[in-house]
Copies of this chain bind each other. A is one copy, B any other.
Amino acid sequence: MADSTRPPTPPGSPRGPEPRYGNRPTMKDVAARAGVGLKTVSRVVNGEPGVTPDTERRVQEAIESLGFRRNDSARVLRKGRTASIGLVLEDLADPFYGPLSRAVEEVARAHGALLINGSSAEDPEREQELALALCARRVDGLIVIPAGDDHRYLEPEMKAGVATVFVDRPPGRIEADVVLSDSFGGARAGVAHLIAHGHRRIAFIGDQPRIHTAVERLRGYRAAMEDAGLVIDDSWVALGSTAPERVQEAVKSVLAGPEPVTAIFAGNNRVTVTAVRVLAGHDQRVALVGFDDIELADLLGITVIAQDAAALGRTAAERLFRRLDGVNDEPSQVALETVLVPRGSGEIPPPS
C-alpha cells in the first residue's frame, strides 16, 4: 500500500504517447501513497474543509515525498476558469509598454490571476495570431493594444465570454471597452505651447498613419495651428516608421531649405529620442516638444506631453476584472488626461 513507485505502465490500458513530464505524480499517486481516497487529496491540496488534521498530515507527507504539484491544466478543464488574462502589446522592449504591462500584472495579481503577454511587433497578423492563441488557452480576459484596425476576429471570442478591453488605441470595427490617453488634447496643448512661445513654423513628426494615436496627435497639431490662424505647409508634416533612420531623415528635412521650421512636435517617445539626437548636432537652436515622457528627459531639458502608461494599464485591467466579476454595462470609452511638462526645450524662442 505504501509503495512509493508507480507502475510504469498501467497494465491493460492503452499507454500514453511518450514518457510525459518525466512521470509526474498525480493526485491518484498521492492518494495511494497516503492510503486515502483521491478526493481527500484534492481537499487537502485545495484547502477545503472536512479533513482531520491527522489525515491532512499524512497527505501532506505523501505530497512532499512524491514532489507532487497540482496540474492546473486539468483543473482548468474542469472549472472553466484559468485565472489568467492575456495582454497583447506592441513591444515589451519599448519603455512605454514595460510600465503598462507591469501595472496590468499588479492588478491581475491582486485578483489572483496570472498575466500572459505577447508582442505583436506592430504587425496586425501577429496581433491576431497572438490574441487567438491566448483565447485557445482560455484566458479569462484579454487586453489588447491594437496593431491592426479590424478586430472582428475577436467577435466569437467575446461572445463566448472572453472579456476584452482595448488600451492606448481603439479597436476597429467592433464595440468594446477602450482606455486611451487624450492624444488629441495633449498634442494640441503641446503645439499651442510652442505657438505661445512665438513659433509660427512648426513641424509634426509622427508614427505611421494607420496608427490611431498618430492620427489623433496630428489632428491636435492641426487644431492648434488653426486655433492660432496659422497655415501648415505640407512639408512640415512627416508620418511614417519610427525607425531612427526615417526620423532622422524627417527631422533634417524640416530643418532644411530657405524657410526651415523653428520648432518640432514629436509624435511619440521614439521620435523624440531621435529628434533630440539630431538637434544636438544642429547649429541652430530648435524648440522641441515630445509626446510621452522619457527617462532622463528632465536632465536633458526636454519638454514633453506626459501620459501615464501605468495608469492606462491599471485602468484597463480594472475595467477587465469588473467585467469578469459580472458587471455587464455598455462598452465604455475612457480618455486619460495628459500633462504638459515644460523643461526648457519647448520654451526656446524662435531665432529673431
A-to-B contact residues, CB < 8 Å: 16-18, 20-24, 67, 69-74, 76-77, 79-80, 82, 84, 91-95, 97-99, 101-102, 105, 114-119, 132-138, 155-157, 159-161, 273, 276-277, 280, 294-300, 310
A18 and B95 within 8 A (CB): no
Q: Which residues of B contact A95 (CB under 8 A)?
A: 95, 98, 295
Q: How far is the CA of A73 from the CA of B138 in the complex (A)?
A: 7
The 9 A-B pairs with the shortest beta carbon distances in the complex, nearest first, are A67-B156, A22-B161, A20-B80, A93-B102, A93-B99, A98-B98, A72-B136, A73-B76, A92-B102
Q: How far is the CA of A294 from the CA of B277 in the complex (A)?
A: 14
Q: A22-B159, A70-B136 are in contact. List 16 more A-B contacts (CB 8 A).
A: A21-B80, A21-B161, A67-B156, A69-B160, A73-B73, A73-B77, A73-B138, A92-B92, A92-B105, A95-B98, A95-B295, A105-B118, A114-B116, A117-B117, A294-B295, A299-B300
What residue of chain B has the Cβ atom nearest to residue A102's Cβ?
B93
What residue of chain B has the Cβ atom nearest to residue A126's Cβ?
B109
Partner of A80, one of B18, B119, B157, B159: B18
A280 and B296 within 8 A (CB): no
Taking A80-B16, A114-B116, A296-B276 as contacts, is the C-beta distance between A138 and B72 under 8 angstroms? yes
Q: Which residues of B contact A99 (CB under 8 A)?
A: 93
Could you show 19 A-B contacts with beta carbons less than 8 Å apart? A22-B159, A22-B160, A69-B132, A69-B135, A69-B136, A73-B77, A92-B105, A93-B99, A93-B101, A93-B102, A94-B98, A95-B98, A98-B98, A114-B134, A115-B117, A117-B117, A273-B295, A296-B296, A300-B300
A114 and B118 within 8 A (CB): yes
What residue of chain B has the Cβ atom nearest to residue A313's Cβ?
B93
Number of copies: 2
Q: Which residues of B contact A310 (CB under 8 A)?
A: 93
Q: Which residues of B contact A157 (CB under 8 A)?
A: 67, 69
Q: Which residues of B contact A76 (CB under 8 A)?
A: 73
A72 and B161 within 8 A (CB): no
Q: Which residues of B contact A119 (CB under 8 A)?
A: 102, 105
Q: Which residues of B contact A277 (CB under 8 A)?
A: 298-299
Q: How far is the CA of A95 from the CA of B97 in the complex (A)?
A: 10
Q: How far is the CB of A296 from chain B (nearest CB, A)?
A: 5
Q: How far is the CB of A39 from chain B (nearest CB, A)?
A: 15
B160 and A21 within 8 A (CB): yes
Taking A80-B20, A92-B92, A92-B98 as contacts, is the C-beta distance between A71 and B136 under 8 angstroms? yes
Q: How far is the CA of A71 from the CA of B17 in the complex (A)?
A: 19
What residue of chain B has the Cβ atom nearest to residue A161's Cβ?
B22
Q: How far is the CA of A155 from the CA of B161 in the complex (A)?
A: 38
Q: Which residues of B contact A134 (CB under 8 A)?
A: 114
Partner of A137, one of B21, B105, B114, B294: B114
Q: Which residues of B contact A114 (CB under 8 A)?
A: 116, 118, 133-134, 137
Taking A72-B137, A94-B98, A97-B98 as contacts, is the C-beta distance between A77 and B80 under 8 angstroms? no
Q: Which residues of B contact A70 (CB under 8 A)?
A: 136
B101 and A92 within 8 A (CB): yes
Q: How far is the CA of A18 from the CA of B79 in the complex (A)?
A: 9
Q: How far is the CA of A71 from the CA of B77 in the complex (A)?
A: 9
Q: Which residues of B contact A93 (CB under 8 A)?
A: 98-99, 101-102, 310
